[in-house]
Amino acid sequence: MAILKLENGTLYQDLPEITRELASLNIQLNQWNVGSDRQLYPLLAQESLNEDEKEQVLQALDGYFEQLQQTAGYQSRDLIVLHPGIPNLDELLAKFAQIHTHADDEVRYIIDGEAVFGFVRPDGSQVELTVQPQEYINVPANTEHWFHLTPAKRVKAVRYFISTEGWVPQYTAREIRIPQAVG
Ligand SMILES: [Fe+2]
């Protein structure tokens, strides 16, 4: 289940409360089950995946991609696999750790590990949402946000794209006020 943190440290773990706190951002947060494909579970448990294994995972979950293709014109999907064994992990993540926007929605389906999305709400307040396995998130285009991992530094997420150009980060130069965990 997702966890939402406010600037004053208040934590929300109930979906109705989280939905209320995110309402002004029009963020979609859904529970998406990974299903019962037995071959999927050992792959999700692995720290890293080769290209064939990634494709196997994507195909097992393509029912969701087909829905997005049909209802919202999505064109492609890939699987991002991050873990502490990646030598340039911090460098890869640094690009998204500062507040930025994209011209397209940022659409992710977390299937292993966890990821933190920070948001600037329309009133200027900031919140951080920890997204956990079997949760789908759609961050609307032009939402000021940032992204980092939890201290475990491990996530597998399907990314869905309308166009790959649309989600190049545009930095807004605003400072993150939520205290960041060290490490
Ligand atoms: Fe982003």
Q: How far apart are alpha carbons 144 and 25 in whole angstroms?
A: 10
Report residue 183's pLDDT band, with 50, 70 and 90 as the boundaries. very low
- For ligand 1, the distance from its centroid to the CA atom of residue 127, given in whole angstroms, is 15
- For ligand 1, the distance from its centroid to the CA atom of residue 157, given in whole angstroms, is 13
Q: How far apart are alpha carbons 45 and 23 in whole angstroms?
A: 33
126-131 vs 155-161, strand pairing mode: unpaired
| pLDDT computed for residue 181 by the predictor | 65
Whether residue 128 is contained in a domain is answered as: yes
Q: What is the mean pLDDT of the chain?
A: 94
pLDDT in tens, 104-114: 999 999 999 99
The answer to whether 95 touches 75, Cβ cutoff 8 Å, is no
Whether residue 182 is contained in a domain is answered as: no
- For ligand 1, the distance from its centroid to the CA atom of residue 77, given in whole angstroms, is 16
Identity (one letter) of the amino acid at 94?
A: A
pLDDT in tens, 57-95: 999 999 999 999 999 999 999 999 999 999 999 999 999
| pLDDT computed for residue 179 by the predictor | 80
- For ligand 1, the distance from its centroid to the CA atom of residue 41, given in whole angstroms, is 28
Query: Residue 5: how many CB atoms within 10 A of its CB?
Result: 19
- For ligand 1, the distance from its centroid to the CA atom of residue 149, given in whole angstroms, is 13
Whether residue 59 is contained in a domain is answered as: yes
User: Range of 100's domain?
Assistant: 3-164
Question: What average pLDDT does range 25-46 have in this prediction?
Answer: 95
- For ligand 1, the distance from its centroid to the CA atom of residue 56, given in whole angstroms, is 26
Whether residue 133 is contained in a domain is answered as: yes
- For ligand 1, the distance from its centroid to the CA atom of residue 92, given in whole angstroms, is 13
Q: Kindly tell me if the per-residue pLDDT of 4 is higher than 70.
A: yes
- For ligand 1, the distance from its centroid to the CA atom of residue 104, given in whole angstroms, is 10
Report residue 36's pLDDT band, with 50, 70 and 90 as the boundaries. confident
Q: How far apart are alpha carbons 92 and 101 in whole angstroms?
A: 17
Whether residue 14 is contained in a domain is answered as: yes
Helices (H) and strands (E) in the chain, counts: 5, 12
> Residue 71's domain is classified under what CATH number?
2.60.120.10
- For ligand 1, the distance from its centroid to the CA atom of residue 118, given in whole angstroms, is 10
Question: What average pLDDT does range 31-49 have in this prediction?
Answer: 95
Q: For the chain, how many structural domains are there in total? A: 1
- For ligand 1, the distance from its centroid to the CA atom of residue 99, given in whole angstroms, is 8
- For ligand 1, the distance from its centroid to the CA atom of residue 70, given in whole angstroms, is 24
Closest CA to 172 of 94, 100, 95: 100
- For ligand 1, the distance from its centroid to the CA atom of residue 146, given in whole angstroms, is 6
Whether residue 26 is contained in a domain is answered as: yes
Look up the pTM and report it: 0.94
